[in-house]
Chains A and B, each alone.
Chain A
Amino acid sequence: MKAKWILNVLALVMVTMLAVGCGGEKKEETASAPAEEKAAPAAEAPKGEIVLGVAGAHSGDLASYGLPSVNAAELVAEKINAEGGVLGMQVKVVPQDDECKPEKATNAATKLLSENVTVVLGHICSGATKAALPIYKESKIVCMSPSATNPPLTQSGDYPNFFRTIASDDAQALLGVNFAKSLGLKNIAVIHDKGDYGKGFATFAQEFIDADPEINVVLFEGVTPGAVDYSAVVQKIKNSGADGVIFGGYHPEASKIVSQMRKKDLTIPFISDDGVKDDTFIKVAGDYAEGVYASGPMDISANPLYQVALDAHKAKYGTEPGAFYYEAYSAALALLNAIEKAGSTDYDAIVNALHTEYVETPVGKIKFDAKGDAEGVGFSMYQVQNGKYVELK
């Protein structure tokens, strides 16, 4: 029965081995903001009140994206009311849940209209926003999203009543392409991971490059995530004569591709997106990561208003704010500021003020361009220098 004895020892070994070793750091999930009561006073808003509708996912699996906006709106309203309100009127926040579902978003929009909203902060998800926008447009209500990044929402020009305080998906690709141009690159290989995010980024990059006669796409290809190695695609990049690579995707693929490029003495610039602007990328790619460019959200933590918004949230709710909190805080500030500057709650006056008047917000000093995207909000280019991402100014 020697075999049995060996078996027992092996089983024991199996259970204990690998339990020690190189356990990684565990990331704590930040608790989502406390659930908000749905306020639904049906009474008609009396004159002398600004009704700030807040639409988005306040329940369901995406609630963690929507609830921080409600908190942000409440905090901004409280602050402004304490300072005497807007044009002498108090601000009332009216949340309306859409669960990020387009069919509920139209209901939410109608409901908000019946509550006589002055302006709307929301919606949260691009799909829901798109469904609700025509309703607001018809009733001439300004709508500002902190989180809907789908490019056509602003770029199609269909919704002059729509604004946002977050950069759209293509802004990053445009930044990447312009950056590549500024490096003097002419022939660019655009590589992606075939995923929604990576391929979307790459497709936008390709469109921007095609629109520019000075630069060309010499290679546009997807790689299979998790493949054993990428030497064939690296050879292909080399063979295409590209003098730069733009990659759309996440860091595991990026680190493999960059490492193999560098090992094959291919030292052309590698430009990527915020899926790669991640410290794990530097950890995994090690020395090969040096000099890699990746865009990521601008660092706003130096902005004093960022700290104000953060402190206000901690003081009232006792937690760290959740997703899109600063964008929502900024949107609420921008909306109320526009009403103040316009001197009335008239639609055209508010829209005009949004386009022309600067406002100080946690995401920066912003106004909105002709299409409704916040100017100055968005992405910066970072470069790995000495094992750290450094923002390039």
Chain B
Amino acid sequence: MDYFLELFFGGLTRGSIYALVALGYTMVYGIIELINFAHGEIYMIGAFTGLIVAGVLGSLGFPVLGILFVALACAVVWSAAYGYTVEKIAYKPLRNAPRLSPLISAIGMSIFLQNYVLLAQTSDFLPFRKLTPDLGFMQPFRSFLSSSEIFIIGATAVVCVGLTLFIKYTRLGKAMRATAQNRKMAMLVGVKVDRVISATFVIGSALAAIGGVLIASHIGQINFYFGFIVGVKAFTAAVLGGIGSVPGAMLGGLVLGWTEAFATGYVSSDYEDVFAFALLVLILIFRPEGILGKDSTQKV
């Protein structure tokens, strides 16, 4: 039972990160039907920003929690700025181009950002300081749930609830839903569609940055390639849950995290990815729209 719980929480942590990043994929897809392949790099940039800010604050002797919140805030702001700029540079000019063009532009952006950070920083792995304080009361459980894992799971839960409420109850959230439903109609009834799209990129990037800083603090190291695999996995999670659906991305992330953790624990870590992608294939065969995706009928 202990072993099961350990794997369960390990999978939950990993799944939370996937979920945080997958939200960005799914929201962007929901609104403009674009798969933003540069999203993993935004996550990586968030982590790098956190590294720099934490390094500066750490050398000034700030307390751990203070560093965590300032680093998170800075990472959120920087990544949001990147998300916004990437959209303006790489996707907006192609808004009315064939579907393939923005996709290729996204891949180009991803490679560009990776190499940009590689040149501006270094290809080496860099140590990332631990930003989460040790929670004293967790001592008896720390063998299967560490404080940084609690922070990751907790932050993800807060973000998911907050995002759901945001989409449901705010004007911007309503505008986002309207744009997702029918962009042209939304425009006709006075929704500023461009602004909504920008907001989507900003929010998605901010969430990815939170994930980036928290996981970097959890595993203690980053490099420029740090976002690539997470990007692929989070995209898988988004598709698994039903791309375009916000709860779907969260669920997809968790399902993927648990699949990997239990496959590693009960079968072999050699097959971690095999199981993850086999699950994806199975879901796509039997439920092509994803677990919570809507079966959208093609408009004529």
Contacts and interface: CB of A to CB of B under 8 A. Distances in A.
Interface in A224-266: 224, 226-229, 231-233, 235-236, 238-239, 251-252, 255-256, 259-260, 263-265
B66 interface: no
A23 B121 contact: yes
Contact of A18 (B116, B125, B233, B273): B116
B143 A229 contact: no
Contact of A265 (B120, B142, B269): B142
A226 B229 contact: yes
Contacts of B269: 221-224, 232-233, 236
Contacts of A224: 269, 272-273
A385 to B, nearest CB: 19
Contact of A222 (B11, B52, B270): B270
Identify the interface centre among A11, A221, A264, A284: most chain B CB within 10 Å of its CB: A284
Contact of A286 (B14, B45, B88, B220): B220
Contacts of A25: 122
A370 to B, nearest CB: 37
Interface size class of B (residues with CB under 8 A): 35 or more
B260 A232 contact: yes
A20 B124 CA distance: 16
Given A18-B45, A18-B120, A264 B143 contact: yes
Interface size class of A (residues with CB under 8 A): 35 or more
A263 B10 CA distance: 13
Interface in A1-57: 7, 10-11, 13-14, 17-19, 21-26
B81 A264 contact: no
B126 A284 contact: yes
Given A256-B219, A259-B219, A24 B124 contact: yes
B92 to A, nearest CB: 10
A242 to B, nearest CB: 14
Interface in A243-300: 251-252, 255-256, 259-260, 263-265, 280, 283-286, 288
Contacts of B229: 226-228
Question: Which 8 A-B residue pairings sit nearest by Cβ, starting from the closest?
Answer: A24-B122, A232-B264, A231-B10, A235-B6, A18-B120, A232-B261, A222-B270, A284-B221
Interface of B: 3, 6-7, 10-11, 13-14, 17-18, 45, 48-49, 51-52, 55, 78, 81-82, 84-85, 88-89, 116-117, 120-127, 142-144, 146, 149, 215, 218-221, 223, 225, 228-230, 233, 260-262, 264-265, 268-270, 272-273
Interface of A: 7, 10-11, 13-14, 17-19, 21-26, 194, 221-224, 226-229, 231-233, 235-236, 238-239, 251-252, 255-256, 259-260, 263-265, 280, 283-286, 288
30 contacts: A7-B85, A11-B89, A17-B49, A17-B78, A18-B120, A19-B120, A21-B48, A21-B120, A22-B52, A24-B126, A25-B122, A221-B269, A221-B270, A224-B272, A226-B225, A228-B215, A229-B219, A232-B11, A232-B260, A235-B6, A235-B144, A236-B265, A239-B6, A239-B265, A255-B125, A255-B220, A260-B219, A264-B146, A280-B124, A280-B125
